[in-house]
Amino acid sequence: MSEVNVTAIDRVIDIFEAFQARQQPLSLTELAEAVNIPKSTCHAIVSTLISRGYLYTRSRPRALYPTRRMHDVMIDISANDPFIKYAIPILERLRDATRETVILGKRQGDSVIYLQVIEGLHSIRYTAKSGAFKPLHSSSIGKALLGSLKEPELRAWLDERSLPSITRATLTGHEDLIQDIQVSRKRGYFLTRGENVIDVWAVATLINVHGETFAVAVAGPQHRLESNIEEIARLLIASCSFLSRQVGS
């Protein structure tokens, strides 16, 4: 794919994210300014999106806004994901049992990508969005995915990069992270204690499906998880084991 095409794709995504951020109709000028592109370029992209039914025009005031077409397309796609459609009911039951936010993630390059987020039932809870990227070394899902590597592979990966501090609690030393992962492997689950988000704890474990490695985490405020980690880990491991059997069969 050429650099021009990649730039065009970036701009289309930027346009939809501008509407997400503003939460209101935008004129062509406002949209071009929000995306930081020339008005002529914005006009060309907008014209295509209008012709395909993804944007519509308002006459008073003269403005643009997305239709539900993108929403409906993405709903149809996500509803037929061959793994997630089986995972969601089980993850929802795990959320109901723990009352905390449940996240399904996978490694994407040097990051974790959240594939599904089922928010907890408490008014104060950890929140995140599907499609969000998180560091491997500071998230519980990331630690679990790093824990799936053999130790020589893990050390080779660490040798090529530094570990930035996300919070004061983030493990930034290579040996500290390796030791943490080794301990986590033995007990069967991986923890973060405010290492990715201050005052948020999370517990994660791995799930392997047809040769693909995923991880599931339960995350919430420290004051609720700290005294309840073992019970949450037990429910998490049981849910992931059940999901693995269901998908495998």
Rama region for 142: left / alpha / beta (φ>0; ψ in -120 to 50; rest): alpha
Q: Which one of 47, 70, 93 terminates a domain?
A: 70
Give, for all 249 residues of the chain, the pLDDT tens digit: 455 556 888 999 999 999 999 999 999 999 999 999 999 999 999 999 999 999 999 887 789 999 999 999 988 888 788 788 889 999 999 999 999 999 999 999 999 999 999 999 999 999 999 999 999 999 999 999 999 999 999 999 999 999 999 999 999 999 999 999 999 999 999 999 999 999 999 999 999 888 889 999 999 999 999 999 999 999 999 999 999 888 766
Furthest C-alpha separation in the chain: 64
- Enter the pTM of the model: 0.82
Q: Which one of 11, 41, 70 terminates a domain?
A: 70
CATH for 64: 1.10.10.10
Residues 49 and 85 in one domain: no
**Domains contained in the chain, number:** 2
Domain interval for residue 117 = 81-248
* DSSP secondary structure letters along 185-199: HHHT-EEEESSSSTT
- Cα separation, 2 vs 112, in Å, equals 26
- Sequence-distant (6+) residues with CB within 8 A of 77 are none
- Cα separation, 164 vs 94, in Å, equals 32
Residue 44, domain member (yes or no): yes
Residues 178 and 241 in one domain: yes
Residues 104 and 53 in one domain: no
Residues 151 and 28 in one domain: no
Residues 51 and 146 in one domain: no
